[in-house]
């Protein structure tokens, strides 16, 4: 594991095993840490069902996320998202509250309900729910792009697309992934590309090499 990380120029201080098998069969790996020193965390479930090469491949995927600054980009994007949502809530609320022709929100005695009233909280959360539903395809589109980048890094670094493909097949088995999701479901809800698309990425890499 250390070799994989060091090959990528990541200094690993500690490697931890998480006893996930006590709770579920779900597999995962990630690493944390600011600065040059990182800690790798690997679910024991991943170690049980995958060969050491496949585990190393999964770690390479996580390194791919880190190398491409996905964590930082995610923080910036969610910050931008929060600003946008705040604006949307404020705008929708104001439009509904004050613009002529829109329904006015008021208490039963007729006093206008302003956005700063605690009683407007359910309304604010309703507006948030509606708009986050419509924003989720954008969020997931970005997430899927990041996953493809990390997968490409994983295959490129290991140089063994077949190990990548094996680990994808294992991932699908361990997490009981649905193999043929409807494209619309993927478009709207999926944070990762469908597993068969990810396998195809490995196969295409094989073809390009030949």
Give the Cα separation of 206 and 210 in Å (integer): 7
**Burial (Cβ within 10 Å: 0-12, 13-18, ≥19) of residue 59:** buried
Give the Cα separation of 179 and 43 in Å (integer): 23
80-88, 102-110, 143-151, 161-169 -> range binding Zn ion (CB under 5 A)? 143-151
Closest to Zn ion by CB, 147 or 174: 147
CA-only gyration radius of the chain, Å: 23
Closest to Zn ion by CB, 113 or 142: 142
Contacts 24+ apart (CB under 8 A), 73-81: 73/146, 74/146, 77/139, 77/142, 81/135, 81/139
CA-closest candidate to residue 156, choices 72, 74, 30, 68: 68
Closest to Zn ion by CB, 89 or 168: 168
Closest to Zn ion by CB, 60 or 127: 60
Q: Which two tokens stand for residue 141?
A: 């589109």
Q: Is residue 150 at the binding interface for Zn ion, with CB under 5 A as the rule?
A: yes
Residue nearest to Zn ion (CB): 150
Q: Is residue 56 at the binding interface for Zn ion, with CB under 5 A as the rule?
A: no
Closest to Zn ion by CB, 65 or 160: 65
**Burial (Cβ within 10 Å: 0-12, 13-18, ≥19) of residue 82:** exposed
Least gap, CB of 104 to Zn ion (angstroms): 47
Least gap, CB of 59 to Zn ion (angstroms): 11
**Binding-site residue total for Zn ion (CB under 5 A)?**
2
Q: Is residue 46 at the binding interface for Zn ion, with CB under 5 A as the rule?
A: no
* Binding-site string for Zn ion from residue 75 to residue 104, where x marks contact by CB under 5 A and - marks none: ------------------------------
9-17, 89-97, 142-150, 174-182 -> range binding Zn ion (CB under 5 A)? 142-150
**Site of interaction with Zn ion (CB under 5 A):** 147, 150
């Amino acid at each position: 594991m250390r070799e994989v990380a060091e090959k990528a120029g990541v200094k690993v201080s500690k490697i931890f095993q998480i006893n996930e098998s006590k709770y579920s069969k779900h597999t995962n790996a990630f690493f944390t840490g600011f600065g040059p020193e990182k800690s790798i965390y690997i679910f024991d479930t991943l170690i049980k069902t995958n060969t050491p090469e496949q585990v190393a491949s999964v770690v390479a995927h996580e390194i791919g996320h880190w190398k491409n600054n996905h964590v930082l980009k995610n923080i910036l994007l969610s910050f931008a998202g929060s600003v946008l949502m705040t604006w949307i809530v404020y705008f929708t609320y104001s439009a509904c509250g004050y613009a002529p022709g829109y329904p006015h929100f008021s208490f039963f005695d007729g006093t206008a309900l302003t956005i700063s009233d605690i009683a407007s909280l359910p309304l604010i959360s309703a507006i948030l729910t509606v708009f986050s539903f419509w924003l989720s395809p954008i969020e997931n589109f970005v997430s899927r792009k990041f996953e493809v980048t990390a997968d490409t890094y994983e295959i490129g670094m290991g140089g063994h697309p077949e190990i990548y493909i094996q680990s994808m097949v294992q991932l699908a088995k361990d997490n009981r992934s649905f193999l043929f999701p409807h494209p619309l479901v993927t478009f709207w809800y999926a944070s990762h590309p469908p597993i068969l698309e990810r396998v195809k990425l490995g196969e295409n890499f094989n073809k390009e090499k030949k």
